[in-house]
Amino acid sequence: MLTVLSIFMAALILAYVLEPIVERLCAIGLNRRLAALAAVLIGIGALAGLGLLLINILQRDIPMIRAQAPAWIQSTQLWLAPMLERFEISLNWEEMKAALVDRVTRQFSDNAEVVITRVLDTVLASVQSFIAVVAALVLIFFVVFYLLVEWSSLFSRASEFLPPRHRTTAAELAKECDQLLSQYLRGQLSVMLVLAAYYAIALSLSGMAGAVGIGILTGLAIFIPYIGFGVGLALALISGLLQFGPGAELLIIGLIYAAGQLLESFVLTPTLVGQKIGLHPVAVVFALMFFGSLFGFFGVLLALPAAAITLVGLRFTRQQIEGSRWFSGQ
């Protein structure tokens, strides 16, 4: 269940992402409240689209898993049994096949609708849980709306809590953080769109069914460093294994994702995002784990921007220390 901190963290992330849309709508003459409402509706539509994309993938792959599970055991037996016989190891393949078929049959239904229905039944089984989920979603979008409406005045009021002598410095740091995050988000969005198109086209050319959905999902998941690429690769390999079985097609899929990773690392990210953040890969993994442990899924989304803001603070602290008498030894 979402905690109060996670709810407001999610609202803050969504508001920051949607703020440029509000500014664009206001620039063409739309009222600030109407612009904020339109931006919230756009955000809801985008999230709903991602949900439908996941449902489409589930709807295609779940029946294939059920249908091909026995064949997996059979092919594994033909490949592995001779090697096990050399070490005098015998397995009861018929029992393993029966157990796998029984487990898959119980765990996976015929289509995604039944899976979703079961999830909804689980949520609806407890009135308290259902009310909590609905209340959390309503609260998130309610907070997002009012954050967007009062975005500028919100930070102006926050600066009033600082001593007057520190307000200029705080404003400069806030401006630097905003420029850093804006550059990162705009660049990352461009990378996601380019990679979504690349994976969708490349996987379609490989003959994979559902290539467009998996390709778009992979491109969007790139927003989460390393984890997003791993999830997309796993989905593509599983889908390829279901459709083609073990063979050259899986190698082609692997090469497509290897080329995509090279394209992202050496062309798109340096060009579109730049080296502004400049985090070491170990620091990226640490940030993902640290903020993920604090705020869950939203902490993972927040990890790199939060780490970037931390770097701004560290650079400012270093400048202050290097300019002090203690550091210079005077």
DSSP string for residues in 158-200: HHTTS-HHHHHHHHHHHHHHHHHHHHHHHHHHHHHHHHHHHHH
Written as six digits, the tokens of 226 are 């390393």
Together in a domain, 40 and 105: yes
Together in a domain, 119 and 233: no
pLDDT of residue 257: 93
> Per residue of the chain (330 residues), what is the pLDDT tens digit?
456 777 787 787 788 888 888 888 888 888 888 998 998 999 888 888 877 777 776 666 656 656 666 666 666 666 666 777 777 677 666 676 666 666 655 555 545 455 556 555 655 555 566 677 778 788 888 888 888 888 777 767 767 777 777 778 777 777 777 777 777 777 778 888 899 899 989 988 988 877 887 888 888 888 776 777 888 888 888 877 777 766 788 889 999 999 998 888 777 876 766 555 666 667 767 777 787 777 666 676 677 777 777 777 777 788 778 777 776 665
pLDDT of residue 290: 80
What is the phi/psi pair of residue 143, to 5°? -65, -40
0.75 surpassed by pTM: no
Q: Is residue 113 part of a domain?
A: yes
Together in a domain, 11 and 148: yes
Specify the number of domains making up the chain.
2
Together in a domain, 183 and 156: no
Q: Residue 207, by phi and psi: left (phi above 0), alpha (psi -120 to 50) or beta?
A: left
Domain end position, chosen among 114, 140, 161: 161
Q: Is residue 210 part of a domain?
A: yes
Q: Which structural domain range is residue 244 located in?
A: 165-276
Together in a domain, 59 and 87: yes
Together in a domain, 223 and 146: no
Domain end position, chosen among 145, 161, 177: 161
Q: Is residue 42 part of a domain?
A: yes
Q: Is residue 326 part of a domain?
A: no
Together in a domain, 151 and 67: yes
Q: Is residue 299 part of a domain?
A: no
